[in-house]
Structure 1
Amino acid sequence: MICTVVPVKDEEEKINQTLHMLLKTQTDQIIVVLNGCQDRSFEIVKGIDDPRIEYIYCNKPLGMDIPRAVGAWMALQRKADGIIFVDGDMSGDLSSVIDMLIDHLQEGKADMVLTNCYPEMSSKSSMARMLLSFRKQLNLELDLFDSIGYSIPSHGPHGISGKLLTKISIPELAIPPVCLALAAKNNLVVSVAASISTDLLQSTIRDEYHAQQITKTIIGDCIEAVQVYHGKVRNRGYDGIVFTGYHKNRRFDLLQDFIGHGSVE
C-alpha cells in the first residue's frame, strides 16, 4: 500500500485542488495533517467525500516538516509499503509526477525517490543560488551529486520506502536533508524519478521574510545532514554563521507525544 502524506498550514485556497489532483493518482490512501490551521482548510478537507482521504487536526502549530513525520507515523500504523510526501499548497497538475514516484517505489527501484525541481539552472536569485550551493555540497559529500544533482527531499514531491523507515527513526523525517544523509549512510538507493520546474508546482507565493527563513532553514538542515553523515556532533553553523530559520519552531516534543499517544493536543 502506498500512502500520500499531505501537510497543510492555512491552505484554504489550494487544498481542494491539491487533494483532487492526488485522487487521480495511484496512491491508495491520503493522510492530511492539518497543522494548526486557522482558516477553512479543515472544513474543506472534511467536505471531500472519498474513503481514501483521512485527516488529523493538530490544534497547535507543529512547525516546519514535523507534520511529515506525523503523517509517516500514521502511514506506518496502516502497514504502508511506501510513503509519498506532497505539500498541501502544491496545486499544479502533478498527477503524472506522483505516479512516477509511486512506480519507482512499487518496483523497488529506490528507497528514496526525488523530484528534480531545477531542470533549468538559469535566472536564479542570489538567495536561490546560495541555497543551491549548499544543496550541491551536501550531495557531493554523500557521493550522490552525479546521480541526483541538486535534488533533496526538502523541495518537491518525493517518496520513501518501508525499508528506509526500518533504518531511521520517525523524527529524522522532520529534517529532510538528514533523512537523505541517513539513506546514503545506510547504503540505500536514492534516485530522481521525475523532473518538473518549481513554477509548475504552483505552490503558494509568500513574502520575502518567509523566503529568507525557508532558505536559512534548509541551509542549516544541509549543514546538519553533513555532520550526521560523517558521524560528527550536529550543528547548523558555517563560516561563523548559524543557520536557524524556522528550525527553532519545529515541535519535536509534540511529535514525540504523538508517537507515544497517537494524538497531538
Structure 2
Amino acid sequence: MLTAVVPALNEEQRIGCVLRRLLRIDDIKIIYVILNGSNTATRHEVDELYRQNRQKITVVTFTEPLGIDVPRAVGAKLSYCGGATYTIFVDGDLVGDITKDLSLFINNSVKKQLDLALMDCYPLKPIPNLLNEPMFFYRRYLNQTLKIEHKINIASPSHGPHMVSRRLLRLVPWEDFCIPPTLLAYAVLHKLQINIAGRIPHACLGSQIKNGTHTHLIVDTIAGDCLEAACIAKNISRSRTYEGKTYLGYHQQRRFDLLHQFLAGRLMC
C-alpha cells in the first residue's frame, strides 16, 4: 500500500491543487494531510476536499506550528502504523503540473525496489562554481561523505518529492524524519537501495516564492541538516558546525517536544 504525506502550514490556494493532483494518482491509497498551525483558509480548503474524499484523505491537525519538516515525522509514523509499504512525501505548496511526473516517479521507485527514491531537481548540473554556494555545497558534501554522489549527484530528501520503503520507515528514528538528509545516512549504513527515480526541474515544482530572509534560513537549515547526517555516517557526536560556522536556520523552531507528545499518545489531534 502506498501512502502520501502532505505537510501544510498556511498553504491556502495551493494545498487544494496539491491534493487534487495526488487524488488523481490511483496508486496512492491514503493521503495524510498534516495541518499544523494552519490558518482558517487552509483548513477550510482541506476540509472541503476531505468531505469529498473521506475514503482517501486523513487529516491530522495540530493547533501549533510544528516547525519545518516535523510534520513529515508525524506522517511517517502514521504511514508505518497504517501498514504502508511505501510512503511518498510531497510538500503542500507544490502547485506545478507534476501529476504525470509523480506517477512515473512512483512506478520507477517500486519497479527498482528502492528504499529511498529521490527526485533530481537539477537535471542540468549546476555551473561548477555554484557548487561552492551553501545551497549546493553541503548537499554535495554529504553525498560525497556517503560515497553516493556518483548515483544521485546533489539530490536530497530536503528538496522535492521523495519516497521511502517500509524497510526504511522501520529503521529510522521518528525524530530523524524531521531532518530529511539523515534518511540518506541511515539508508547507506543499512545498505539499502538509494537512487534517482524521477526528474523535475526545480522551476517546474511550483513551490512558493518567499523573501530573501526565508531563503537564507532554509539554506542554513539544510546545511546544518546535512552536517548532522554526515555525523551519523561517521558515527560521531552530532554537530551543525563546519569550519567554525554553525548552521541553525529554522532548526531551533522544530517542535520536537510536540512530536514526542504525539508519539507518546499524549497529544491528540
Fold in common (TM above 0.5): yes
Aligned to 1:31: 32
One-letter amino acid of the structure 1 residue matched with residue 38 of structure 2: C
Aligned to 1:12: 12
CA displacement, residues 114-150 of structure 1 (integer Å, 9 cap, x when unaligned):
0000112347996993221111111011110000001
How many Å separate the matches in 2 of 1:128 and 1:35? Answer: 34
Aligned to 2:149: 145
Normalising by structure 2, report the TM-score: 0.94
Identity among equivalent pairs (%): 34
Q: Mean Cα displacement is larger for which, 125-134 or 79-88?
A: 125-134
Q: Mean Cα displacement is larger for which, 95-104 or 85-94?
A: 95-104
CA displacement, residues 34-92 of structure 1 (integer Å, 9 cap, x when unaligned):
12112411111110111211111110110000000001111112111110000000111
How many residues were matched structurally?
265
| SS of the residue 2:238 aligns to | coil
Which structure 1 residue ranges, 5 or more long, are not aligned?
none
RMSD of aligned C-alpha atoms?
1.8
Q: Mean Cα displacement is larger for which, 102-111 or 182-191?
A: 102-111
Does 2:136 correspond to 1:132?
Answer: yes
Aligned to 2:89: 85
How many Å separate the matches in 1 of 2:142 and 2:159? Answer: 14
Aligned to 2:253: 249
Normalising by structure 1, report the TM-score: 0.95
Q: Do 1:27 and 1:102's aligned partners in 2 also have CA atoms closer than 8 Å?
A: no
One-letter amino acid of the structure 2 residue matched with residue 116 of structure 1: D
One-letter amino acid of the structure 2 residue matched with residue 37 of structure 1: S
Q: Do 2:227 and 2:239's aligned partners in 1 also have CA atoms closer than 8 Å?
A: yes
Aligned to 2:45: 44
Q: CA deviation at 1:100?
A: 2.7
One-letter amino acid of the structure 1 residue matched with residue 93 of structure 2: D
Q: Do 2:130 and 2:136's aligned partners in 1 also have CA atoms closer than 8 Å?
A: no
Taking the TM superposition and a 5 Å limit, the aligned residue runs for 1:54-203 are 54-107=58-111, 109-122=113-126, 129-203=133-207
Q: Mean Cα displacement is larger for which, 70-79 or 124-133?
A: 124-133
| SS of the residue 1:159 aligns to | strand
Which structure 2 residue ranges, 5 or more long, are not aligned?
none
Q: CA deviation at 1:20?
A: 0.5
CA displacement, residues 180-205 of structure 1 (integer Å, 9 cap, x when unaligned):
11111111110100001101000110
Q: Mean Cα displacement is larger for which, 126-135 or 58-67?
A: 126-135
How many Å separate the matches in 2 of 1:71 and 1:175? Answer: 14
